[in-house]
Amino acid sequence: MPILGYTRDHEWVKVEDGDVATIGITSYAAEQLGDVVFVELPESGRTVKKGEGAAVVESVKAASDVYSPVSGEVVETNGELVDHPQLVNEGAETSGWFMKLKMSDKADLDGLLDHDGYVAYVETL
């Protein structure tokens, strides 16, 4: 399933199984962070709002919030990241996903950047 949208804060979202959104950070964000050494994930059952900090990623350079591009309830987290945070660097847009949310409003997907729009945005940074 291809990534559906990107934020200017460098998160991505793809939707599988109807209203379940998988969320992670972009390869660009992972490169900027450098070696990821710690990930803090939200608890299952937590409700997050679009734009809210939902997870934390720490690298040798900095710590950053991971903002949710959509609102919903956390239904799953990628527990592999706790013991193997380097998965974020190895596969930021694949195996390094952070969480899955049951979206409360699919309209949250409106206004996200598509792949080409995100690439063009990154080129301006």
Full domain range(s) for residue 24: 5-105
pLDDT attached to residue 1:
56
Per the structure, the count of domains in the chain is: 1
Q: Are the beta carbons of 59 and 34 closer than 8 angstroms?
A: yes
pLDDT attached to residue 61:
92
pLDDT attached to residue 97:
97
Backbone angles phi, psi at 89, to 5 degrees: -75, -35
16 within some domain: yes
Please, what is the end-to-end C-alpha distance for the chain in angstroms?
A: 28
pLDDT attached to residue 87:
97
Q: Are the beta carbons of 70 and 88 closer than 8 angstroms?
A: no
How far is residue 104's CA from residue 83's CA, in Å, rounded to a whole number? 30
How far is residue 40's CA from residue 14's CA, in Å, rounded to a whole number? 21
* CATH label of the domain that carries residue 70: 2.40.50.100
pLDDT attached to residue 4:
85
115 within some domain: no
pLDDT in single tens digits along all 125 residues of the chain: 566 899 999 999 999 878 999 999 999 999 999 999 999 999 999 999 999 999 999 999 999 999 999 999 999 999 999 999 999 999 999 999 999 999 999 999 999 999 999 999 999 99
Give strand ranges (E) for 17-109.
Answer: 20-25, 36-40, 47-48, 53-59, 63-67, 72-77, 99-103
Residue type, 26: T
86 within some domain: yes
